């Protein structure tokens, strides 16, 4: 697609608007109230410490999001975390309050994720948790509280590795990639509401994780700095393996039919129905033992497609098989992070995209087909882009927003 002169001009203006000299750090004034979302981990604890050290009026806030701690895939010890938050706040001589968002998490994050799993998709619950709960329900609760109890301006601070800035000319808020590119968490924040972003700061925007742990230890939080990073239910992920699959078995329906495993046009094996076709993700090893002595089965086999209707799993040989590769995908449920760019429909914008956490930014042409539907054409082939996952889009280091993968066009189809 040729880019019109109008769009070329807009791209130039868009890039100019996101240059460092055109923005300033979004940051509270000395008299402002700052609420720090605290989990008991080192990042949020150190964020509270930094703000308190800088003289701000700081208050810690803690969220309980999960009903049954014993059923959580990673334990999610909310009461222990709450005790840690109270201990940190006492040490910093700041108050703290607790919110219960179990209902909101269940209805807005967990159940929708279950629906996606049942339909063979691979959701990213931490993205929806940030939008719906941390920067949704929590933000709304703080806003309501501040209307009658806080004089002057107020802010929500988060220990995420991200950066919020303000365009000097337009006074609009944007979210940017932080100093620590390795820990960049903007992908998980790419769909948060404009209203919330305008009131959010990220104290760790210019810190590296290594320095956070080092300085937190020096500040008297050595025990927190050295403990294993927590991944509660906002980070429900197949990465916790069998424990995660066993956890989801409590909530998902199973087919009594065995799962057919297909290579090419041939059925090469099957899994029992209680294995759950949802438990396998595009791009991972299929887990089926094939006779390696036979040339047609030799090698490592990977999932490249799931057919929920027919309870079938399609596999291919080789980690970089063309069936796992794609250059064109379509997103749905697009959400702008901060200010919407105007007049983009049906125009191709040169951007960068991030398919998964910690992946380097990938150059691509991005076309808004309508306000909620986006087409992405990658410059380089991408492996195992999976329906259901969230993709973030960037101009320079600014995150424009994100959407859910709807369909993927493979580099090659079976004949």
What is the C-alpha to C-alpha distance for residues 151 and 114, in angstroms, rounded to an integer?
A: 42
Are 288 and 268 in contact, with CB atoms under 8 Å apart? yes
Among candidates 382, 366, 373, which has minimal Cα distance to 325? 382
129 belongs to the catalytic site: yes
| Closest residue by Cα to residue 161 from 397, 402, 403, 405 | 397
Q: Is 190 a catalytic residue?
A: no
Tell me the sheet residues that pair with 351. 364
- Per the annotation, does 159 bind a ligand? yes
37 is in an annotated binding site: yes
> Strand 57-64 to strand 33-37: parallel, antiparallel, or no bridges (unpaired)?
parallel
Residue entry with tokens 């098989």? 321
- Location of structure tokens 């078995």: 249
Question: 67 near 107, Cβ under 8 Å?
Answer: no
43 a known binding residue?
Answer: yes
* 38 is annotated as contributing to ligand binding: yes
Q: If DSSP states are collapsed to H, E and C, what string results for 303-321? A: EEEEECCCCEEEEEECCCC
Is there a binding annotation on residue 39? yes
* Residue in the structure block whose two tokens are 């979210």: 175
Which candidate in 129, 286, 337, 351 is catalytic?
Answer: 129
1 is known to lie in a ligand binding site: no
Q: Is 44 annotated as a binding residue?
A: yes
Q: Is 404 annotated as a binding residue?
A: no
Calculate Rg over the CA atoms of the chain: 23
Distance CA 317, CA 322 (A): 10
Catalytic residue among 176, 234, 337, 351: 234
Q: Which residues are annotated as a binding site for ATP?
A: 37-44, 63, 159
The catalytic site residues sit at 129, 234
Residue stretches of the annotated binding site:
37-44, 63, 159
């Amino acid at each position: 697609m040729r880019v019109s002169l109008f769009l070329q001009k807009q791209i130039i203006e868009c890039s100019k608007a996101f240059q460092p000299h055109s923005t300033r750090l979004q940051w509270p004034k000395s008299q402002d109230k700052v609420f720090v979302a605290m989990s008991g981990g080192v990042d949020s604890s150190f964020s509270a410490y930094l703000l308190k050290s800088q003289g701000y009026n700081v208050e810690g806030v803690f969220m309980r999001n999960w009903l049954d701690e014993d059923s959580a895939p990673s334990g999610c010890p909310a009461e222990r975390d709450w005790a840690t938050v109270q201990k940190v706040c006492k040490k910093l001589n700041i108050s703290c309050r607790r919110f219960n968002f179990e209902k909101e998490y269940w209805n807005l994050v967990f159940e929708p994720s279950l629906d996606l799993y049942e339909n063979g998709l691979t959701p990213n619950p931490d993205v929806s948790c940030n939008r719906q709960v941390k920067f949704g329900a929590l933000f709304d609760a703080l806003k309501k509280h501040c209307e009658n109890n806080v004089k002057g301006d107020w802010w929500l601070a988060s220990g995420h590795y991200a950066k919020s800035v303000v365009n000097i000319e337009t006074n609009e808020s944007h979210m940017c990639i932080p100093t620590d590119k390795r820990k960049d968490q903007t992908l998980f924040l790419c769909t948060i509401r404009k209203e919330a972003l305008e009131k959010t700061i990220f104290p760790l925007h210019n810190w590296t994780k290594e320095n956070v742990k080092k300085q937190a230890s020096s500040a008297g939080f050595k025990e927190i700095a050295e403990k294993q990073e927590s991944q509660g239910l906002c980070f429900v992920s197949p990465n916790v393996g069998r424990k995660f699959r066993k956890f989801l078995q409590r909530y998902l329906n199973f087919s009594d039919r065995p799962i057919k495993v297909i290579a090419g046009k041939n059925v090469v094996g099957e899994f029992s129905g209680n294995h759950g076709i949802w438990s396998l993700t595009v791009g991972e090893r299929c887990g089926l033992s094939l006779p390696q002595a036979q040339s047609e089965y030799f090698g490592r086999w990977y999932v490249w497609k799931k057919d929920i209707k027919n309870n079938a799993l399609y596999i291919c040989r080789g980690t970089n098989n063309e069936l796992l590769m794609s250059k064109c995908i379509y997103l749905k449920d697009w959400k702008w992070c901060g200010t919407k760019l105007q007049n983009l429909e049906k125009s191709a914008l040169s951007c960068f995209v991030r398919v998964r956490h910690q992946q380097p930014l990938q150059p691509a042409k991005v076309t808004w087909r309508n306000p909620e539907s986006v087409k992405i054409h990658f410059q380089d082939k991408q492996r195992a882009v999976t329906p259901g996952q969230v993709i973030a889009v960037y101009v320079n280091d600014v995150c424009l927003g994100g959407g859910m993968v709807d369909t993927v066009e493979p580099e090659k189809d079976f004949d």
